[in-house]
Structure 1
Amino acid sequence: MRPFLHLARLDRPIGSWLLLLPCWWSTALAAIADDRPYPDPVLLVLFAVGAVAMRGAGCTWNDILDRKIDRQVARTRERPVASGAVSVPAALAFLVFQALIGLAVLLSLPHFAIVTGLASLGVVAIYPLMKRISSVPQLTLGIAFSWGALMGWASVMETISDPALLLFAGCVLWVFAYDTIYAHQDKEDDAVVGVRSTALLFGRSTGLVVALSYAVVVILFAMAFLSVPTGFFSALGLVGFALHLTGQVRRLDIDDPARCLAVFKSNRDAGLILFAGLALDSLVPNTLAPLLP
């Protein structure tokens, strides 16, 4: 089973975390907007299962399409399909298995959320192809990985409104920025193979682009929070999130692949800080209410 576990990237859970966090943010934000005492724990668990399954399915699909390219890149040539540890038919069967898990999660959600989730499949399907035709494939990944910002809100409110759209727009830029950092690990091989990325497009300007992107992310998130409106703990979480992103920019060294990977992975911690603020904003006022005069 080990090659299949590697194929689903279960040994590298950071991708599942980054797919999950917008779902959790949106669910918590909707809980505040709907005056609920806490984010729905059932939704949080369903999104966690769905994130692992769909991230694995996305990686499997990516590895099937990119198997020839992966053999030419030092970091990816040992991936299961590229190395021959898993055949293409077996990978396709595994893809279907993971997609069925994701479908089971999706069908557990309200009807509006099901339709919203199905609308994302086209973007997910074309993402692995974008690096062949676009210099900004990270933008497509941003749309795919940010869909959870719509899903949480749709599951609670059964509609899509301004806070969810602002959160989604911010998430797209967040993913765009952190995946640009990630892409600097492969920029030399990508240039040889002919694969495009924002790492190659921006080059030495990457730090500036990431800093500007992160600044707009914080502004969009603040606008989403104000449109609900949220309270003190959400603001505190956003400040912590912004400080974390600032630290990433200061630590970034595009010529150090290990540093790029570490900065990329740290976005999980930034996202958990933001989620903690949102969750506390719904939980604490309701917990203290019976104690207040």
Structure 2
Amino acid sequence: MIAARRFNLYLDLIRWDRPAGWLLLLWPTLAALWIAADGFPGLHLIAVFTLGTVLMRSAGCCINDVADREFDRHVKRTSQRPVTSGALGVPDALGVGAALAFVSFLLVLTTNPPTILLSFFGLAVTLVYPYAKRFVSMPQAVLGVAFSFGIPMAFAAAQGGQEWTFGAVPSHAWWLLLGNLFWVLAYDTEYAMVDRDDDLKIGIKTSAITLGRFDVSGVMAFYGLFLAIWAVVGRSLGLGEWFLLGIAVAAAQALWHWSMIRERSREGCFRAFRVNHWVGFAVFAGVVVDLAMR
């Protein structure tokens, strides 16, 4: 019984019952992988990036909960997280996070040197993010880099050679990273709008607080920039009507999100965040279908 309870605490620590978090990372990464490979990238790379995404998101949850444990005590939604409540100790959480990150790195070792090199930078941003909210007015931008780093890694894995160089990543991959960063700003601002009152009391910096009364318009602008950048880059790479249909479906969802967040209710903002992975799936599906129809 004790072992089972502890195992359940570990599952709660890594948010195993909330797959929306890792799906937000997965869809743009897989979309980039398909674009980089100009079609089906092979089972090996799909497995590496899918499993790596799940593992690193889970490791990030461990790091984030340790870093935020003092703040989370004052937020109703997070006060019962395992580390915050004291059900799991800090060494336990860090140990789980390190183990998950190590397994993810073993997966990266099956790719090529450029991808391995980029993984160190991705890990560094992941470690920095939990502390950004103490100093950066819009820490969601730091999260955006962390959540988008699978994009250049996907290009490096699909197109890179055996040399340790950043030259394995074409310029359009970085443009896709920038576009995806705006998507992260959109959905994580929705997330921050849920906790804005609590965050103001404890002094945390978030994009929802920084944007103030322009939070809703800011979210919609971020959606627009994300979809515009991906549309322009995709078209420049030869993606056609099916891809644009995916962009259009994602844009329609963004408008639906406006209807959920415009009143700024906790329930509406949280619901918008939780279903955001469907925006990414629409873009991913557009990429896959378009390349398959060539």
TM score, norm. by length of structure 1: 0.92
Report the equivalent of 2:36.
Answer: 30
Question: How many equivalent pairs are there?
Answer: 281
Tell me which of the two structures has the higher relative contact order, counting C-alpha pairs closer than 8 angstroms and 6 or more residues apart.
1
The one of 20, 24, 44 equivalent to 2:26 is 20
Of stretches 136-145 and 148-157 in structure 1, the one that deviates more from structure 2 is 148-157
Give yes or no for the alignment of 1:253 onto 2:262: yes
Q: Which amino acid aligns with 1:213?
A: F
Partner Cα separation in structure 1 for residue 288 and residue 192 of structure 2: 32
Give yes or no for the alignment of 1:280 onto 2:289: yes
What whole-Å deviation, never above 9, does each CA across 1:35-81 have from its counterpart, x for those lacking one?
Answer: x4x23332222211111110111110011111111111111110000
Q: Which amino acid aligns with 1:58?
A: G
User: For structure 1, which runs of at least 5 residues remain unmatched after alignment?
Assistant: 286-293
Matching of residues 54-203 of structure 1 within 5 Å:
54-158=56-160, 159-203=168-212
User: For structure 2, which runs of at least 5 residues remain unmatched after alignment?
Assistant: 1-6, 161-167
Report the equivalent of 2:51.
Answer: 49
With over 3 angstroms needed to count, the CA separation of the structure-2 counterparts of 1:148 and 1:64, relative to structure 1, is: same
CA contact (8 A) 2:41 2:158 kept: no
Partner Cα separation in structure 1 for residue 134 and residue 21 of structure 2: 22
1:98, distance to aligned residue in structure 2 (A): 0.8
The secondary structure found in structure 2 opposite 1:133 is coil
Give yes or no for the alignment of 1:4 onto 2:4: no
1:231, distance to aligned residue in structure 2 (A): 2.2
Partner Cα separation in structure 2 for residue 123 and residue 233 of structure 1: 34
1:132, distance to aligned residue in structure 2 (A): 0.9
With over 3 angstroms needed to count, the CA separation of the structure-2 counterparts of 1:41 and 1:237, relative to structure 1, is: farther
What whole-Å deviation, never above 9, does each CA across 1:179-231 have from its counterpart, x for those lacking one?
Answer: 00100111111111111111111122111111111111111111211221212
Report the equivalent of 1:233.
Answer: 242
Partner Cα separation in structure 2 for residue 148 and residue 39 of structure 1: 15
Report the equivalent of 1:290.
Answer: none
TM score, norm. by length of structure 2: 0.92
With over 3 angstroms needed to count, the CA separation of the structure-2 counterparts of 1:197 and 1:254, relative to structure 1, is: farther
- Identity rate of aligned residues, in percent? 34
Partner Cα separation in structure 2 for residue 244 and residue 191 of structure 1: 29
1:254, distance to aligned residue in structure 2 (A): 5.1
CA contact (8 A) 1:22 1:147 kept: no
The secondary structure found in structure 1 opposite 2:205 is coil
The secondary structure found in structure 1 opposite 2:10 is helix
The secondary structure found in structure 2 opposite 1:184 is helix
Partner Cα separation in structure 1 for residue 156 and residue 97 of structure 2: 26
Partner Cα separation in structure 2 for residue 21 and residue 249 of structure 1: 22
CA contact (8 A) 1:162 1:227 kept: no
Partner Cα separation in structure 2 for residue 28 and residue 139 of structure 1: 25
Partner Cα separation in structure 2 for residue 18 and residue 247 of structure 1: 18
